[in-house]
Copies of this chain bind each other. A is one copy, B any other.
Amino acid sequence: MVRKRLAPEAAPDEPYLQIGEVAERTGVTQRTLRFYEEKGLLKPPTRMEGGFRLYSETDIQRLERIKRLKQLLGFPLAEIKEMVDAEEVKLQLKAEYRPEAALSQKKAQLLKAIEVTERQYDLIRQKVADLAEMQSKLEERLATFGDWMEQLERQLTANRKVKTKV
């Protein structure tokens, strides 16, 4: 687990990371990284001559988004993939905002992105609402527990008094 070799510093502009570094920094295993790649959740990163994977900062950001969605929503990876893909459309659009051609095609893409995002949004809104309700119920319950505890305490001290009296 000790990392002796330095990260490849050859890259001048962007700092590329090998799989071990990425694993360490993000807390996922190398296996998981390869697995996600296999499943299309992460797109194949660039490689060194010898085939070693080199992850860019954007790759890592995507991974973090995946982690987050997975943890927060608990959905199967296939759905997570869809969601992250939808985000990517946004970046794509922003990137190639130049070419004047194919405007209507761009519109179609944008429409789709909007649709997906809206679905996502509704889903999350619903979940927030449900969870909030659950939260308030738990609050109530904790209050009730507090009351009971007080009562119990009173009864206990009362008992002690009786016993010491006898």
Asked if residues B72 and A127 are in contact (CB atoms below 8 Å), the reply is yes
Asked if residues B148 and A110 are in contact (CB atoms below 8 Å), the reply is yes
Asked if residues A114 and B138 are in contact (CB atoms below 8 Å), the reply is no
- Per-position contact with B for A136-151: 1 when CB-CB < 8 Å, else 0? 0011011011101100
A106 within 8 A of B: yes
Residue count of chain A within 8 Å CB distance of chain B = 42
A25-71 at interface with B (beta carbon < 8 Å): 68
Give the complex CA separation of A141 and B139 in angstroms: 33
Copies, count: 2
A132 within 8 A of B: yes
Give the complex CA separation of A148 and B92 in angstroms: 13
- Name A151's closest neighbour in chain B (CB-CB): B97
A7 within 8 A of B: no
**Interchain Cβ contacts under 8 Å between A and B, 12 examples:** A72-B127, A73-B74, A90-B145, A103-B156, A107-B152, A110-B145, A110-B148, A111-B149, A117-B138, A121-B139, A124-B135, A124-B138
